[in-house]
A and B are shown apart, each in its own frame.
Chain A
Amino acid sequence: MTITFELNGKTTTWEIDPVETLLHALRRHGLTGVKEGCDTASCGVCTVLLDGKPVPSCAVPAGRVDGHAVLTVEGVPAKARAIGEALADEGADQCGYCAPGLVMSLVAMEKELDQPDDREIASYLAGNMCRCSGYASQTRAIRKYLGGES
């Protein structure tokens, strides 16, 4: 089937397989910043923004984005760089596999929450798992990133 949607700000038309997920369609089209980790909406490494809201792209049928707006990490290079630098300053970027998904959730969080505390941050980012860092360093980095921005 054919879908037309806004991908990282550009109107895009793709031929997709009706059973494929948004995650697979994105990766197949070269947007490999979107990672695959679990296929059950449990890990968050495939997070993209659908109409501004973070969603696990492994749980979204590609057909459903027809007429909607999808934002991936490739569409927010400046934010991703700033967040990546904040993570790196704390040593929180270990294998980095969870980082693009975390970036996307943070981009959405910044819009939605005003000066969140650690508990609100942990709750907002609950879907973004990380197996390497143990989270503490990510929390330190996120706090600094948010502080530095305001």
Chain B
Amino acid sequence: MNEVGKSLPKIDGVGLAMGRPAYADDLAPREALVVKALRSPHAFARIRSIETAAAEAIPGVACVLTWQDVPRVAVTRAGQGHPEPSPRDRFILDEFVRHIGDEVAVVAADSLQTAQLALDALVVDYEVLEPVLDFEQAEGHASVLHPEPEAHENFPIGFEPQRNIASAYEMHVGDVDQVVAESEVVLRRTYYTQAQQHVALEPMACATWLDLHDRLNVISSTQTPWHVRRIMARALDIPVSGIRVNKPRIGGGFGGKQMIHGELLCGLVTLRTGKAAKMVYSRREVFSATNTRHPMRMDITLAAHRDGRLRAIDMRALSDTGAYGEHALTVFMVAGAKTLPLYNKVEAVRFGGKTVYTNHPPGGAFRGYGAIQGNFALESALAELAVELDLDPVELRRVNMIAEGETSPIFAIMGEGTEGVAQTIDSCKLPECIDRGMELIGWADKYPRREVAPGRVRGVGMALAMQGSGIPGIDMAAATLKLNDFGSFNLLIGATDLGTGSDTILAQIAAETLGVSTDLIKVYSSDTDRTPFDTGAYASSTTYVSGHAVRKAAEKMRAALTAEGAAMLGCDPGQAVFDGAEVRGPDGSISLEDLSTRLLYNQNQKQLCTTGSHLCEQSPPPYMAAFAEVEVDTGTGKVDLVDYVAVVDCGQAINPNLARVQVEGGLVQGIGMALTEDVRYGKRGRLQTGDMMTYKIPGRQDVPRITVELVESHEPSGPFGAKSVGEIGIDTPPAAIANAVFNAVGVRVRDLPLTPEKVLMALRGDRDA
């Protein structure tokens, strides 16, 4: 292979570093009205009235819109396929506001300052309602978040709004209760994971305008242009064909930009005023009025033989979707679906529970997507079981983990919101990942602990993880290759590069298939008018699904070039070969440069254009073994991460540098979740961590030594043997670090993050005991 497997530089990197205009707000029309939302100061309230006259009278204010001015169509802003597995429980603006920061009204003005003045001039009379703030008390609470008759599920997801239930799910294989009753060892534990913020450094931004055909044009920092188009059409009550959505460069997504944010309000302003408009979120708005990771409680029961063979896993979860049910069911299901198959040798397995509404900002998609929540519970519980059985935690995993050639019944039972697809694991290098990881961290010397100074103890811990590669039966991607004169190609793809480098990786796949060098492939992506379809960049799908679409388009192009070359050479297509540089026949050859130029100008003129599309048929999991070394200060409870080793099986890496950095970036986001990142609310539902000073993401000096290695692996169903790598990096740090802290100082923290206060309290409790 010439182009695949090479660490080529990302095609947009230099331009971005030079500050070329590339992101939504850079490209918004200069004359665009500034759109700002008035945000609710109450966690739950009904709007009795809004006085808009004073705001409207301010010079420079173009329009003020309240819930009475917008179409009343229930939508979900989840940004998923059609029909969505999330409840349609939202309107562009509504009579009820359901969390502090929820949208009350919207203004558009000629400047930010004027828009701010207009917001200040709005007078709202609220009927304040009793909020639901504790997700463990939400079900059946006297306050009902979604009493409105229009809210509905698109297909059965267990939606029971009268009881504050957004979704519910149950599955089982075998008789868990019986196996647990018969087992020699049973461990029951409860774990909590917190809300986490994505903190993509670019806040959500979009701009809208009407073009000369009166079509609504949208540029948006979105991961899902096609879903944005479809949902905007529904909410604004205009045809899909009347909207064009384009994703420019975006400044990080991590799932946060799968959901729809300002597009509906901004689009409405443009439709009402006829003018260009833009809506750029402030960081405070990103924190209080977009989405977080769903907080969860996980009650887990493990049943095992004395020798460590697992017999049953029972996982019950309760998930908090906040004010709206975005990704309520699917994140919940992934907590089981992308963790439980790791230990496929059990006699019985059960998973289920509910996702409830509360008056907090909504949950949503976030890298890891339930798997990180499930992983923290399962991998912590396994470590606890190892202690109970007096076994090495690594050995306990080795005995129970899935292996190549095996399957799990869960693959067929659990999909994302629907049934799954049966699959056999064709690539799983977990044994190699574990061996190499142990070597890199020095497990044999360091497990479980050593005191490095008085009051400072180091310990090591580990966790395994799996993820998926796309959503089988649902994710579809397409790609078109167009031949240009002098032998270059345009690659038009629906796929959305979030900064992950997918434009580069997909160009490499096209180049490899054609046999040309990657710099001949000119990529244009993510435009609902000008590129073919793609469901979007989520669920770790781009390399695996969009990669196949590109490969198919390139194979067709290769065949077309061979046939056209043969025609020019006067031979049979079967006698000709295209090697990337030229088409060769029995009696001569023609270069790609000549062939492509002649085809447009001189001989047998035509445009060569080929399209491939690919439906994801299975979802081979990437795997990881991760090892953390921590140093705990027993006087303060502070946990310092010293070393983190992650060894990954992501199949063949199309671009090893970019794959590695995906893992490194994911790890650091997971480390943040494990140690510092914590969305906190006050008593009345007010966000206490509404800026980057109070919500602490890891900085340059907080990150320890991180070692990432990719093991050799080949996934037969993937393009050139590739699996996904975008999400798996985030999954392991919470459990691996919690396990390392336990091994260091013998205290078990079961709710994230592992703050010094919690560790210290546990240490004191331990000493007292």
Contact = CB atoms under 8 A, between A and B. Distances in A.
Contact of A96 (B251, B655, B666): B251
A100 B19 contact: yes
A134 B660 CA distance: 11
Nearest to B23: A97
Nearest to B21: A32
Contacts of B23: 35, 97
Contact of A40 (B25, B668, B692): B692
B16 A96 contact: yes
Contacts of B680: none
B14 interface: yes
B251 A95 contact: yes
Interface in A86-121: 87-100, 102-103
Given A37-B201, A137-B660, A74 B19 contact: yes
| Interface residue SS majority, chain B | loop
B664 to A, nearest CB: 4
Interface string B630-664: 00000000000000000000000001011011001
B12 interface: yes
Interface in A112-150: 122-123, 125-126, 128-137
A131 B691 contact: no
Contacts of B692: 37-38, 40, 42-43, 129
B204 to A, nearest CB: 12
B13 A84 contact: yes
Interface stretch (B354-362, B494-502, B558-566, B583-591): B494-502
A20 B116 CA distance: 13
Interface stretch (B400-408, B513-521, B697-705): B697-705
A86 B280 CA distance: 31
Contacts of A96: 12-13, 16-17, 22, 249, 251, 499
A9 interface: no
Contact of A93 (B7, B13, B284, B655): B13
A36 B518 CA distance: 33
A99 B201 CA distance: 11
A117 B619 CA distance: 44
A135 B668 contact: yes
Contacts of A88: 9-10, 13-14, 17
B693 interface: yes
B113 A35 contact: no
Contacts of A98: 201
B238 interface: no
B317 interface: no
B19 A131 contact: no
A72 interface: yes
A34 interface: yes
Interface in B467-508: 498-501
A116 to B, nearest CB: 13
A9 B699 CA distance: 32
Interface of A: 17, 19-20, 24, 27, 32-40, 42-43, 45, 72-74, 77, 80-81, 83-85, 87-100, 102-103, 122-123, 125-126, 128-137
Given A35-B201, A84-B14, A97-B201, 16 more contacts: A32-B19, A35-B23, A38-B692, A45-B201, A73-B17, A80-B17, A83-B17, A91-B501, A93-B17, A100-B19, A102-B17, A126-B701, A131-B254, A133-B664, A135-B668, A135-B700
5 contacts: A39-B284, A40-B693, A80-B19, A95-B201, A99-B17
The 3 closest A-B pairs by CB, nearest first: A33-B19, A95-B499, A84-B17
